[in-house]
């Protein structure tokens, strides 16, 4: 029935992709993903069939060298793909279909998107255009947490000293560095985080808003007048920060290019 939901001209790619997913689920391996030889030993079959190539001696599973590596159980992939085509939300799939966390669904959907991008370009374009436009409540909540934290850190006047907890502190320089008047030591609010050396704090909130809105690196680069390698390193740093600040779902959401 999903065939009625997908434009006819995409059915060839759709069939091919579903066939790939089926092979993934059945863990049907024809050749070594490293050297292409077709002779291998079965090393173990649970939880995932793992093989060793007789030619190059490398170990592999059906998902080796694919975005689906370690995303077991593999039969979830098709369930998620079909539900997304039926326009079901991540929340719905997590709660009603697979009884698992939102993060697990998003991680797999992003792997599906990455795989489509590499192998089925037309289906990929259709599938991402079809992506959820409304943020789920969890993502919206986490987005607010991140923005609030950044705003607070960048506008802090007298943070408590990290050495002696005194609030008799004063800002030094333009970033997040302070000096304590009591113990006379200095400290940086972002000192032990990946944000420490990230430039242009005046763009951070806007950058995050664009990422959360689903803009790709090229679109964000144009708007903020930054080059694409800067954007991709910013994206990686922010996704790491989101995880540190317990916003895992948002980090997964934003990790897609």
Give me the residues that bind Zn ion (CB under 5 A), please.
32, 34-35, 37, 53, 55-56, 161, 163-164, 166, 180, 182-183
Q: How far is the CB of 21 from Zn ion (least distance, A)?
A: 24
31/229 with CB nearer Zn ion: 31
178/204 with CB nearer Zn ion: 178
Q: How far is the CB of 179 from Zn ion (least distance, A)?
A: 9
- On the 0-12 / 13-18 / 19+ scale of CB atoms within 10 A, 160 is middle
Alpha helices in the chain (DSSP H): 11-26, 75-85, 90-92, 102-119, 121-129, 137-155, 204-212, 217-224, 228-244, 248-254
Q: What are phi and psi of 184, to 5 degrees?
A: 65, 15
62/254 with CB nearer Zn ion: 62
Q: How far is the CB of 154 from Zn ion (least distance, A)?
A: 21
Q: How far is the CB of 39 from Zn ion (least distance, A)?
A: 9
64/83 with CB nearer Zn ion: 64
Torsion of CA 233, 105, 133, 202, to 10 degrees: -30
């Amino acid at each position: 029935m999903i065939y009625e939901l997908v434009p006819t001209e995409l059915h060839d790619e759709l069939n091919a992709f579903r066939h790939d997913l089926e092979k993934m689920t059945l863990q049907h391996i024809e050749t070594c993903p490293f050297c292409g030889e077709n002779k291998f030993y079965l090393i173990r079959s649970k939880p995932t069939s793992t093989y060793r190539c007789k030619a190059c001696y490398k170990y592999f599973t059906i998902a080796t060298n694919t975005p689906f590596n370690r995303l077991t159980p593999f039969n979830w992939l098709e369930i998620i793909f079909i539900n997304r085509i039926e326009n079901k939300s991540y929340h719905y799939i997590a709660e009603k279909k697979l009884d698992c966390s939102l993060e697990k669904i998003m991680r797999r959907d992003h792997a599906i998107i990455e795989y489509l991008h590499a192998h089925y370009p037309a289906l990929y374009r259709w599938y991402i255009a079809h992506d959820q436009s409304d943020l789920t409540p969890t993502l919206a909540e986490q987005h607010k947490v991140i923005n609030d934290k950044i705003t607070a850190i960048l506008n802090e006047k007298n943070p408590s000293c990290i050495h002696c907890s005194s609030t008799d502190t004063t800002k030094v320089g333009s970033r997040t560095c302070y000096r304590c008047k009591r113990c006379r030591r200095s400290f940086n609010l972002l000192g032990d985080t990946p944000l420490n050396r990230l430039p242009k704090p005046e763009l951070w909130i806007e950058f995050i808003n664009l990422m959360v809105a689903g803009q790709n690196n090229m679109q964000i680069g144009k708007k903020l007048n930054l080059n694409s390698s800067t954007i991709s390193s910013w994206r990686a740093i922010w996704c790491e920060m989101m995880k540190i600040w317990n916003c895992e779902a948002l980090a997964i959401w934003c990790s897609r290019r």
